[in-house]
Structure 1
């Protein structure tokens, strides 16, 4: 993610000819935009958005941990008054080719996430599903992971999506207590479409 940098103008820089930014140049240098709280799937209590932060979150995302690079990355957490939370992470890769590679790695990481969780916790049960492609910009893909822990008596549902627009790759995560039947899957797909469309 490009950071706004303020530098002192040196004599050499002052002697340079200033060239106005074209709209194409501005689009490349502008930082991608994040979702607002109102653009998340409907909830029984209002969503609250934390400030956008540089780098990776302090507490990593279980399914994509060690895949997303800290360089070029920003994230934003969302929460409700109940046990529902969400996170959007955006990474701007150096090139479109590297962005495409990152998106592919993130998809693979989510597709194998449930197996890794079961390996780490043999008592865990669950199902994972691929819910298809969202046709927006270079595309987005939606997944769900439904887990249960019979010994503890807990059930959790997580929705995940990965989308790309040029060099920007975004991951959206949504989770709450409960099962897939109670998750706003269609609303999450709409959120994913909005998220990718507003990156640039």
Structure 2
């Protein structure tokens, strides 16, 4: 990932996670700045510019840039200002997708239902949780952990396409290995079913544009 993608992804991720503090009397939300600070420094170093030049490009004061680099919490307006100069590039290159449309939510609901069923089958499996499990207990624990993480991530209004694609590619490999290891058919079928719904979701994500209207997430 280049410094541009690193910076814009960090800002969009901070916005997607939501504010950590609200200044009510000023109507301002504050977001965690740690990852944004690291990504901003990477962008500055990669472009071989000074903090003053970075401030000029981003439409900020040098003192604001220094505060962000120090890891201080960042306001929603500052995050938006960091993205504004990149306009069209963000629209074309953003890895995040707005999944609030009704048809996409229907697909996500189906995916969630199948992932939950798979998780519950694994948790309740006597063979996978017994002494003679066909899968290493660490692998079983990892499957459950990644199922939980994916279920949480696709609940958000903005979903990161590469991360979601990576999970379902991995799940497909797990399914093949489970068949080879003799895992009970009900579970391997559930893996296949989850993978099928995941493929449908990935198709919808690929048809969606990257986030371009930042007002939607402020």
Task: Compare the two structures and name the one with the higher helix fraction.
Answer: 2
**Same fold by TM-score, threshold 0.5 exceeded?**
no
Q: Give TM-score scaled by structure 2 length.
A: 0.31
